[in-house]
Amino acid sequence: MSDKRPFRNLLNDLTPKEWIKFQKSWFIHNPPPRRKGVLRHPAKFPETMVEEFIRFFTKEGQVVLDPMAGTGSTLVAALRAGRHSFGVELNPGYAEIAGQVILEERAALGTPAELRAEIIQGDADDFAGAVESRGIPLIDYVITSPPYWDMLHAKGSENQKGRREAEGLDVVYSDDPHDLGNVRDYGDFVETLAQVYIGLKPFLREKAYLTIIVKNVKKGGKIYPLAWDLGRRLGEVYTLKDEKLWLQDNQRLAPFGMGSAWVSNTFHHYCLQFRKE
């Protein structure tokens, strides 16, 4: 007779083996090809990766939020995982695409109508109003990837921008002054971004996690430690629990600074884990 205690899992529905596998501090994920309808968005993150995070940080039937939802990756992943989800998106065009993607995913999965997956067109700062008007329950988990400052406006990558423009695809998120991707001062950007996440705190249940996927950025010959600065600032309000590195090993290398200076090919992102405590 075994005297082993049964595995009591209060956080998710994973087995001990699945739990341990996710605990590794880095992972490689090369996104599958994007569907034609969501190509318009210049910086979409993959549903396949988001689903793994949702399955670790929530149980089936809990509630997930993405306050910068883009074309709906988080909501699609939540549907696949059997979680309720809400997403806020400033750009009306992306919100419309997200709504259509969600409808198609529902149909493909045969998702029951009672499983909510709702895109809210508006500013993430206005989430409080949406909570009241839509009867949104306490949030169990937040996962999102914000703009990496104003890097879509930066010089460089002209070839990629030219290709996207030729195909009628966006090279920036929008020209809306409320769009965080249009904030040019770095300090203002970090603080404005942090305030979005700070403003969510009253709507999160106790011990809810937030995963923010971000990277440090290079501009004008220097690095701006966006991931670290955001971690420091939000660490004043939430508990910064850990980091998990998302690595991509299928990107083409470019000879930046070859023969004269060190300039890396940066193919990693920080998945920062915060918790409301």
User: DSSP assignment of 177-189, as one string?
Assistant: TT-GGG---HHHH
Q: Which two tokens stand for residue 2?
A: 């075994």
> What pLDDT sits at residue 172?
43
Does residue 79 contact residue 85 with C-beta atoms inside 8 Å?
yes
> What pLDDT sits at residue 160?
47
> What pLDDT sits at residue 171?
42
Length of the chain: 277
> What pLDDT sits at residue 258?
93
Angle at 185 between CA 192 and CA 256, to 5 degrees: 115
Rounded Cα–Cα distance for residues 272 and 30 (Å): 19
CATH topology of domain 16-250+261-275: Rossmann fold (3.40.50)
The 10 Å Cβ neighbour count of residue 277 is: 9
> What pLDDT sits at residue 240?
98
213 closest CA partner among 85, 82, 16, 31 = 31
> What pLDDT sits at residue 44?
60
Does residue 153 contact residue 122 with C-beta atoms inside 8 Å?
no
What's CA 91's distance to the chain center, in Å?
Answer: 16
- Can you give 86-113 as a three-state secondary structure string? EEEECCHHHHHHHHHHHHHHHHHHCCCC
pTM listed for this prediction: 0.86
> What pLDDT sits at residue 81?
98
Does residue 248 contact residue 212 with C-beta atoms inside 8 Å?
no
Mind listing the pLDDT tens digit of every residue in the chain (277 residues)?
456 778 899 999 999 999 999 999 999 998 777 555 544 444 567 899 999 999 999 999 999 999 999 999 999 999 999 999 999 999 999 999 999 999 999 999 999 999 999 999 999 888 888 999 999 999 999 999 998 876 654 555 544 444 434 444 444 445 656 667 678 889 999 999 999 999 999 999 999 999 999 999 988 889 999 999 999 999 999 999 999 999 998 889 999 889 999 989 999 999 999 999 9
> What pLDDT sits at residue 267?
92
Angle at 228 between CA 223 and CA 229, to 5 degrees: 85
Q: Strand (E) positions, 30-89?
A: 63-66, 84-89
Rounded Cα–Cα distance for residues 277 and 275 (Å): 6
> What pLDDT sits at residue 251?
87
Residue 219 main-chain phi, psi, to 5 deg: -155, 130
> What pLDDT sits at residue 79?
97
Residue 175 main-chain phi, psi, to 5 deg: -105, 15
